[in-house]
């Protein structure tokens, strides 16, 4: 339940960022893509760590499988209706700027962590 709330909040904050940035029609798709990117990078980092502990190289098919599973999940769960529900839920939140920066750090940090793990374990 906590992780679901965390990912929904990350979706809301990233979609809200794109909406305030001037993207009026498809802001929720951009927010969904940002969260999807962070989820994929976290999952693939975990896979890289597991395969490096086992002493083998991972197959590109696993990357495709993770990509497909997470994209199907995000396609059906996160939409404009869900953004409207979350906007109503979080309309009076405290420390919203700080939380927005934390979500941004999470997304960027996930991508950086993935590339660092590839560099450390496979180069």
What contacts 118, CB < 8 A, 6 or more positions away? 48
- Structurally, the chain folds into a number of domains equal to 1
Q: Residue-wise over 21-50: b if at least 16 C-beta within 10 A, else e?
A: eeeeeebbbbbbbbbbbbbbbbbbbebbee
Tell me the pLDDT tens digit for each residue of 57-102. Answer: 777 787 788 778 777 777 777 788 888 999 999 988 898 889 989 9
CB atoms near residue 100 (< 10 Å): 15
* Residue 50 pLDDT level (bands cut at 50, 70, 90): confident
pTM: 0.82
Average pLDDT, the chain: 85
Tell me the pLDDT tens digit for each residue of 3-45. Answer: 778 888 999 999 888 888 877 788 888 888 888 889 888 988 9
Give the domain extent around 76.
2-122
Q: Which of 118, 112, 116 is nearest to 60 (CA)?
A: 118
């Amino acid at each position: 339940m906590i992780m679901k709330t965390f990912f929904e909040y990350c979706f809301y904050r990233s979609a809200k960022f794109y909406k305030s940035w001037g993207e009026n029609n498809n802001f929720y798709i951009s927010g969904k893509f940002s969260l999807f990117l962070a989820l994929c990078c976290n999952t693939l980092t975990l896979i890289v760590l597991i395969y490096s502990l086992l002493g083998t190289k991972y197959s590109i098919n696993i990357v495709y499988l993770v990509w497909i599973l997470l994209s199907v999940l995000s396609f059906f769960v996160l939409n404009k209706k869900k953004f409207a529900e979350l906007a109503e839920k979080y309309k009076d939140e405290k420390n919203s700027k700080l939380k927005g920066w934390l979500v941004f750090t999470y997304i960027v940090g996930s991508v950086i962590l993935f590339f660092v793990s590839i560099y450390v374990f496979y180069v």
